[in-house]
Structure 1
Amino acid sequence: MSRRQLPSEIRKIEVLNRKTGKKVTRYELRMDAGVNQNTGQRQQVKRRYATDREARKALGEIAGGSTDGTFVGRSALTVERACAEFLAGSHSIEPTTRAAYEHALQPLRDRHGDMPVQALSKSDLDRLVNDLVVGTSPGHRRKWVANSINPMLNLISRVLADLVAQGKLTRDGAALVKRLKRSDKELQTFSEADVRKLLKHVENNRLGHAWHLAFSGMRRGEISGLLWSDVDLEDGTVTIRHNRVSVGGQVHNKDPKTETSARTLPLTPALKSALRRAENTQKVERMKLGPDYGPGEHVVVDEAGRPYHPDTLSDFWRELCVAAKVKRIRLH
């Protein structure tokens, strides 16, 4: 039985195999693939395949894609450049969000940055996830958990989906990667005895009011950003309006983390007493330094009236936990 005649777009050729030095048969596909969505120019496809079956399959796929406008020509766009362009195009995000995006994309950029993004496969991403889970990914020896890996995959998916929308990629491979099951890890909290130890330890601590604020449920950024104008000692309330955060070591002032984070809290007798002591202490410090004293607008400041860096508060907190001999729980 004679073989089927090749379509006019496919021709059988002999080429030299560079590894063996011998001639091998290849099937070369040449065809018009319609207008390139990015350049507006017509695009010509020239590809070679080992079998005529592969060439015929590619012919059908390219012809169908060029008809319905879904065909994507080969591109030299790398994973690194795709990530960089995505971040550059994220104009309205907060500095903290941008830092989180950069951190989440770093393992992908480190491993596959030089790879053409069109060559990035589901298998590549599966291997990356597996290595991050066990802590064997170069440059990322700390084991990643579901709470870190799933947002990473979601962000990679956004990068790839954006390229699909631009007509630079045919599909979002990250959408096919299974997300990890989140563990029901019990939230770490202090026991009543630990709280007593800590409060007793800060009775005469200059920053005792900061730790009372932490026990009232305020986050680190909220404590760092709290202003005296937000405190009403007469009515016994404190209003959360500011969030002072650290991004790459730099301090950024922003709104509370969520809409519900902006809130007014009642002052307990112990917290009100701690704030009054802090207010009196800062008045004395202001008198000592005179014009050299800082703005003094923040509730938690150093002896010169300057607000502490949020990371410094975390350092003080760790030292306090060690001194009080209680377990170290991160100051959120």
Structure 2
Amino acid sequence: MSRQQLPPQIKKVDVLDRKTGKMVVRYQLTVDSGLDPASGKRRQVRRRYATEKMARDALSEVTSAAITGTFVPRKAVTVEQLSADWLASLHNARATTVNAYVYALAPLRERHGGLPVQKLSRPDLDRLLIDLRDGGTTTAKGHTRRRWSARSLNKAVDAWRSMLAYGVERRELAHNVAAAMRKVPRARSEMQSYTPDEIGQVLRAADRDRNGHLWYLALSGLRRGEIAGLRWSDIDLDGRTLSVERNRVQAGAGNVVEGDPKTLSSRRTLPLDDGLAAVLRRASARYAQERLALGADHHDSGYVAVNAAGEPYTPDTLTRMWLKMAKTAKVRPIRLHDARHSCGTAMHLRGVPVAVIAKWLGHADPSITVSLYVHSQDDALKAASATLGEVLTAGH
């Protein structure tokens, strides 16, 4: 069988191998790749390949891309440059969302920032994900990272995928090497809540704590970020209302970002009962006393969740203090967010309509309230069992 003739776009040439200093055979491809979208002029691609097959495959790929208008020329845009450009393009994203992306992209930018993004490979991303999962990677400041949770790993995959998709859209990349990456399986831990008796124990301990008003707010259904972002100007003690106007969230160690509430429905105004109003009135008076005592040394930040110098607590600090409070109250430790869950469950057990609970907690859809927050507790299940038993044995 005769050897297939080379197409006119491929030429067999002898070139000097710079590594060995010897002449080697290469297959040079010269082909039209369509119009340059920036200049409107026709482009021509010239590349060399080690084998004829590689050159033929490249010819087919370039020709097909030129016809469909999807050809991407070789460029020197780096991972760092594309990451920065993508983050700058997120004009409509919330500040908290952008900061979460910055945090998720940091390991990729640290390890591969100087690499041309067209050379970034799927194995590069897989190795980085494994290293983050196992812990021990180093930050730009020289600190050693702890192991990332499945949730953080999946946020990283989302960020890499979105950033590279932006590169494809901008014609910096021919394809997205992260597109087929699978998420890390997450162990779903069931939400916990305190029983009414446990809530009573926590509140009795809170009455002896300088920051006790914060735990009243948590058990009244506010999110951690909502407590951290609450200001005294949001509370009308005379009118007995509390308005959720902002959210302060943790975006990596030591970095706190303030923005709008989590969702549109999260922005809400809640009535204060006599008990909570009295607790907040005492906390407000203490804030004024501390400000007067420290004078110019008091920061007077206006936040409700502050230390004695008026400096706002970070959300992570609130979590640590909450766990310490649980220990003091001699109740089982649950997440600070589960204190909010306890509020929804307690309301449900007292017959408050789900739609009202959803409004109180700031949920747009009551079905979210049912699926995430409202679970019958063990005591309620036992009561239901006893009621059922009475029905079943009534005729015997």
TM-score (norm 1): 0.83
8 A contact 2:95–2:258 mirrored in 1: no
Q: Does 1:36 align with 2:40?
A: no
Q: Does 1:70 align with 2:70?
A: yes
CA distance in structure 2 between the partners assigned to 1:283 and 1:91 by the alignment: 40
Number of the residue aligned with 1:275: 280
Number of the residue aligned with 1:255: 260
CA deviations over 1:232-256 (Å, ceiling 9, x no partner): 4466542322334566756654321
Call closer, same or farther: CA 1:4–1:191 in 2, change over 3 Å. same
**Matched ranges for 1:3-42 at <5 A:** 3-42=3-42
CA distance in structure 1 between the partners assigned to 2:22 and 2:292 by the alignment: 91
Q: Alignment partner of 2:101: what SS?
A: helix
Of the structure 1 ranges 90-99 and 61-70, higher mean CA displacement relative to structure 2 is found in 90-99
CA distance in structure 1 between the partners assigned to 2:89 and 2:3 by the alignment: 52
Q: Does 1:204 align with 2:208?
A: yes
In the TM superposition, residue 69 of structure 1 has moved relative to its aligned partner by 1.2
CA distance in structure 1 between the partners assigned to 2:74 and 2:107 by the alignment: 25
In the TM superposition, residue 60 of structure 1 has moved relative to its aligned partner by 1.6
Tell me which of 243, 246, 260 is aligned to 1:242. Answer: 246
Number of the residue aligned with 2:148: 144
8 A contact 1:210–1:223 mirrored in 2: yes
- Report how many residues are paired: 331
Of the structure 1 ranges 239-248 and 179-188, higher mean CA displacement relative to structure 2 is found in 239-248
CA deviations over 1:96-143 (Å, ceiling 9, x no partner): 222211111112222222222112222322232233223355556422
**Matched ranges for 1:92-131 at <5 A:** 92-131=92-131
Number of the residue aligned with 1:48: 48
Q: Does 1:217 align with 2:221?
A: yes
Number of the residue aligned with 1:184: 188
Q: Does 1:169 align with 2:181?
A: no
Tell me which of 154, 170, 183 is aligned to 2:158. Answer: 154
Of the structure 1 ranges 283-292 and 50-59, higher mean CA displacement relative to structure 2 is found in 283-292
CA distance in structure 1 between the partners assigned to 2:89 and 2:301 by the alignment: 39
Q: Alignment partner of 1:175: what SS?
A: coil
CA distance in structure 2 between the partners assigned to 1:291 and 1:141 by the alignment: 38
Stretches of structure 1 that go unaligned for 5 or more consecutive residues are: none
In the TM superposition, residue 227 of structure 1 has moved relative to its aligned partner by 3.7
Number of the residue aligned with 2:375: none
Q: Alignment partner of 1:30: what SS?
A: strand
CA distance in structure 2 between the partners assigned to 1:33 and 1:222 by the alignment: 54
Of the structure 1 ranges 74-83 and 321-330, higher mean CA displacement relative to structure 2 is found in 321-330
In the TM superposition, residue 153 of structure 1 has moved relative to its aligned partner by 1.7
CA distance in structure 2 between the partners assigned to 1:53 and 1:300 by the alignment: 67
Q: Alignment partner of 2:166: what SS?
A: helix
Stretches of structure 2 that go unaligned for 5 or more consecutive residues are: 338-396
Call closer, same or farther: CA 1:295–1:136 in 2, change over 3 Å. closer
In the TM superposition, residue 83 of structure 1 has moved relative to its aligned partner by 0.6
Number of the residue aligned with 1:226: 230
TM-score (norm 2): 0.71
Of the structure 1 ranges 197-206 and 76-85, higher mean CA displacement relative to structure 2 is found in 197-206
CA distance in structure 2 between the partners assigned to 1:65 and 1:87 by the alignment: 28
CA distance in structure 1 between the partners assigned to 2:236 and 2:248 by the alignment: 20
CA distance in structure 2 between the partners assigned to 1:224 and 1:236 by the alignment: 20
Number of the residue aligned with 1:60: 60
Number of the residue aligned with 2:392: none
CA distance in structure 2 between the partners assigned to 1:173 and 1:45 by the alignment: 23
CA deviations over 1:274-314 (Å, ceiling 9, x no partner): 1232244445556767899876855445556x462435545
CA distance in structure 2 between the partners assigned to 1:278 and 1:123 by the alignment: 55
CA distance in structure 1 between the partners assigned to 2:189 and 2:18 by the alignment: 56
Q: Alignment partner of 2:151: what SS?
A: helix
CA distance in structure 1 between the partners assigned to 2:229 and 2:185 by the alignment: 35
8 A contact 1:10–1:27 mirrored in 2: yes
CA distance in structure 1 between the partners assigned to 2:230 and 2:97 by the alignment: 22
Of the structure 1 ranges 61-70 and 217-226, higher mean CA displacement relative to structure 2 is found in 217-226
Call closer, same or farther: CA 1:141–1:209 in 2, change over 3 Å. closer
CA distance in structure 2 between the partners assigned to 1:300 and 1:133 by the alignment: 33
8 A contact 2:291–2:300 mirrored in 1: no
Call closer, same or farther: CA 1:9–1:287 in 2, change over 3 Å. closer
Call closer, same or farther: CA 1:135–1:89 in 2, change over 3 Å. same
8 A contact 1:221–1:310 mirrored in 2: no
